Amino acid sequence: MATIKQVAAAAGVSVATVSRYFNTPEQLSEQTRERVRRAVEQLTYYPSALGRNLRTSQTRKILVILPTISNPFYSRIITGMEEVAEKNGYSVLTCTTGGNPESEKNKLKMLYDRFVDGAVFFSTSLSRRQFDRLALEYPVVQCCEYQEGSAAGAVSIDNEQAAYEAVRYLLELGHRRVALVNSNNRFESSILREKGYRRALKEYGLSVREEYIRRGTYGFHNGEESLHHFLSLKEPPTAVFTVADSIAVGVIHAALEQGLQVGKAYSVIGFDDTSLARMYRPGITSVAQPRKELGEAAARLLLRRFQASPKSGELIFLPHRLVIRESTEG
């Protein structure tokens, strides 16, 4: 690897001039520029980020911390972030925690040791307190989740309202026995979606039956098992609202196997409107989040924190919408 020194020597100029060649080439005379150009080419020199980062004390890198990349939901969000980031001279790096707190702690080190300038979190296994402290010290924002009152900004849809509307739609369809398959984590989104579910029932004068509420993973199996559980009840529900398309697929899959007619008579709603919802048969009615916009907003929020220090955690809500398909219409 060639260093700036070697290039300077080869070009017969000072290292400062070589540095200028890359950073403010217009300051150089045509001649010098050419001489440096040749030396650079000759030695195939490329300026080291190691030196530059140390000198400027920034890396121009943003870390996105994901629970997993197995969920295609994240893809477009990240694309959105990237577009905004690159437009501002930043690169986006992603890493996954697998939902493992240990692993997450490990990734945080990149923030502590300044390997990246800031980070975007989705879900986090940090406690509210821990995350608050983190947000106070490092540029950090949340996407699709948020801790109220944290110094970290956040971008999200209104999960309570979204769930409310989804369930209301089922009620409008005539269903009176509506179940919920939630996730068993303590994420704000899960709590809020359950809240929305309860509000809709209440509004229709229906009481919440605890046996209609299931909590588990975001996996396919959670859906399957939940359906079997529901069918084992004396009064099985006739509609199911789930907090993920993958769960909805599990529910529908199992329902069809049991000979249920999934559609208007037996309705199922998913969440996130992933490609799964579109491709499955029947197509799955699902709550769509504005993914690209979520990513863009999150990136902008983070970039803003690089400039000014946090006034207080800015909270941005973006609109969701219910995409109707055959799983509630067929």
Given the rule CB under 7 A, which residues bind DNA? 1, 3-5, 12-17, 19-20, 22-23, 27-29, 31-33, 45-48, 50-52, 54-57
Contacted entry of DNA, a copy of itself, none for residue 232, CB cut-off 5 to 8 Å set by kind: none
Residue 1 interacting with a copy of itself (CB under 8 A): yes
Q: Which of 16, 47, 19, 13 is nearest to 32 (CA)?
A: 13
Contacted entry of DNA, a copy of itself, none for residue 20, CB cut-off 5 to 8 Å set by kind: DNA
Contacted entry of a copy of itself, DNA, none for residue 327, CB cut-off 5 to 8 Å set by kind: none
Q: Euclidean distance between the first and final Cα of the chain, in Å? A: 64
Q: CB-hemisphere CA count at 13 Å for 27?
A: 9
Residue 93 interacting with a copy of itself (CB under 8 A): yes
In the list 7, 260, 276, 277, the residue contacting a copy of itself (rule: CB under 8 A) is 276
How long, in residues, is the chain?
330
Binding-site string for a copy of itself from residue 255 to residue 274, where x marks contact by CB under 8 A and - marks none: -x------------------
CA dihedral 228, 232, 236, 242 (to 10 degrees): -30
Residue number, 46 or 329, with CB nearest to DNA:
46
Contacted entry of DNA, a copy of itself, none for residue 147, CB cut-off 5 to 8 Å set by kind: none
Residue number, 19 or 286, with CB nearest to DNA:
19
In the list 23, 34, 41, 54, the residue contacting a copy of itself (rule: CB under 8 A) is 54
Residue pointed to by tokens 């009840």: 233
3-state secondary structure of 27: helix
Q: Which of 252, 257, 280 is nearest to 268 (CA)?
A: 252
DSSP string, 54-75: HHHT---EEEEEES-S--THHH
Which region among 145-153, 170-178, 249-257, 314-322 touches a copy of itself (by CB under 8 A)? 249-257
Min dist CB 192 to a copy of itself, Å, is 26
Tokens of 135: 């947000």
Residues 97, 110, 303: CA angle, nearest 5 degrees: 95
Residue number, 30 or 102, with CB nearest to DNA:
30
In the list 14, 27, 42, 70, the residue contacting a copy of itself (rule: CB under 8 A) is 70
In the list 92, 163, 243, 244, the residue contacting a copy of itself (rule: CB under 8 A) is 92
Residues binding a copy of itself: what is the number (CB under 8 A)?
55
Residue 213 interacting with a copy of itself (CB under 8 A): no
Residue 106 interacting with a copy of itself (CB under 8 A): yes
Tokens of 323: 């995409």
Tokens of 163: 């769930």
- Hey, what long-range contacts does 169-173 have (CB within 8 A, 24 or more apart)? 169/269, 169/285, 169/322, 169/324, 169/328, 170/239, 170/241, 170/267, 170/269, 170/328, 171/200, 171/201, 171/204, 171/206, 173/239, 173/264, 173/267, 173/328
Residue number, 27 or 115, with CB nearest to a copy of itself:
115
> How do beta strands 267-271 and 285-288 pair?
parallel
Positions touching a copy of itself (CB under 8 A) are: 1, 44, 46-54, 57, 59, 61, 63, 68-72, 74-76, 78-79, 82, 86, 91-96, 98, 106-107, 109-110, 112-115, 137, 220, 246, 249-250, 253, 256, 275-276, 278-281
